[in-house]
Amino acid sequence: MNRNNFITLIMVSVAACLSLQHVSAQERIFVPEGYVAVDSVVYRPAHAVDTTLAGKDVFHLLDARTVPGKAKVNVNQTAAVAASVRRQVATNGERTIGGYRVRIFFDNKQTARAESEETLKKFERLYHDVVAYRTYANPYFKVTVGDFRTKSEAVMLLERIRHEFPGAFVVKENISFPVVDKKNAYVVDTVKVLRPKAVTL
């Protein structure tokens, strides 16, 4: 079975699971004949922001902080100010900032696409706590890792990965907001994956 068919089967399985959320956990997984559902460990990047604050503004938080026996803060402002703050929060959810990353792959040869995919997989396998990006800017395939506000943080990662990726170097570019808790930069989860049953002769 080739890689594309395997990925398609995973997506079909996930879609089937999502569409059957109202049934019990044992009935949720649809397994086609000739396949078996097995547990697979995945590493997801942790949230870059405190999700308890996502989509909220200062006016909402102050209203929610009323505790019996404690002082209450009243904010008086026009509706235009509150609307402006809500607009600012809504439009900046996916905003990037200037910072630094470490480039571990940069090439434009005919095999660059496959090599960049392999480099990305190798990095993600070795360093679960650092986010990695694979991009294409004609004619170059690039793999860049990390989201750092300062160059010194990027250099620390460079020193950490230099033995595995000797051609790596620091680049300045727009970054996503770094994770809040660097000691818990990723979440380990288990998902069901479809795999072909072993053929017995």
Dump pLDDT digits (tens) for 105-131.
999 999 999 999 999 999 999 998 888
What DSSP line would sit under 133-164, residue for residue? EEEEETTEEEEEEEEESSHHHHHHHHHHHTTT
Place of tokens 């072909």: 196
Task: Flag the least confident range among 14-28, 54-68, 175-189.
Answer: 14-28
More confident residue, 61 or 177: 177
CB 100 within 8 A of CB 148: yes
* 148-165 pLDDT, tens digit each: 889 999 999 999 999 999
Percent of the chain with pLDDT over 70: 59
Same domain? For 101 and 164 the reply is: yes
Place of tokens 């392999």: 118
Same domain? For 125 and 163 the reply is: yes
Does residue 127 lie in a domain region? yes
Q: What is the CATH number for 148?
A: 3.30.70.1070
User: Residue 171 has which token pair?
Assistant: 């680049």
Q: Which residues of 76-110 are buried (b: 16+ CB within 10 A; e: fewer)?
A: eeeeeeeeeeeeebeeeeeeeeebbbbbbbbbeee
Q: Is the pLDDT of residue 65 over 70?
A: no
Does residue 155 lie in a domain region? yes
Domain boundaries, position 16: 3-42+188-196
More confident residue, 154 or 94: 154
**Any idea what the Cα angle at residue 58 is, between residues 56 and 59, rounded to 5°?**
95
Q: Is the pLDDT of residue 93 over 50?
A: yes
Q: Report the domain count for the chain.
A: 2
Q: What is residue 134's predicted lDDT score, i.e. its pLDDT?
A: 95
Same domain? For 179 and 192 the reply is: no
Same domain? For 130 and 160 the reply is: yes
Same domain? For 171 and 192 the reply is: no
Q: Which of 1-15, 77-91, 115-129 has the highest mean pLDDT?
A: 115-129
Q: What is residue 9's predicted lDDT score, i.e. its pLDDT?
A: 47
CB 15 within 8 A of CB 194: no
Same domain? For 103 and 176 the reply is: yes
Same domain? For 13 and 37 the reply is: yes
123/117 Cα distance (integer angstroms)? 10
Helix, strand, coil shares of the chain, percent, nearest 5, are: 35, 25, 40
Same domain? For 176 and 116 the reply is: yes
Does residue 27 lie in a domain region? yes
Same domain? For 177 and 192 the reply is: no
Neighbours of 131 (CB within 10 A): 21
Same domain? For 192 and 135 the reply is: no
Does residue 68 lie in a domain region? no
pTM value surpassing 0.75:
no
Does residue 116 lie in a domain region? yes
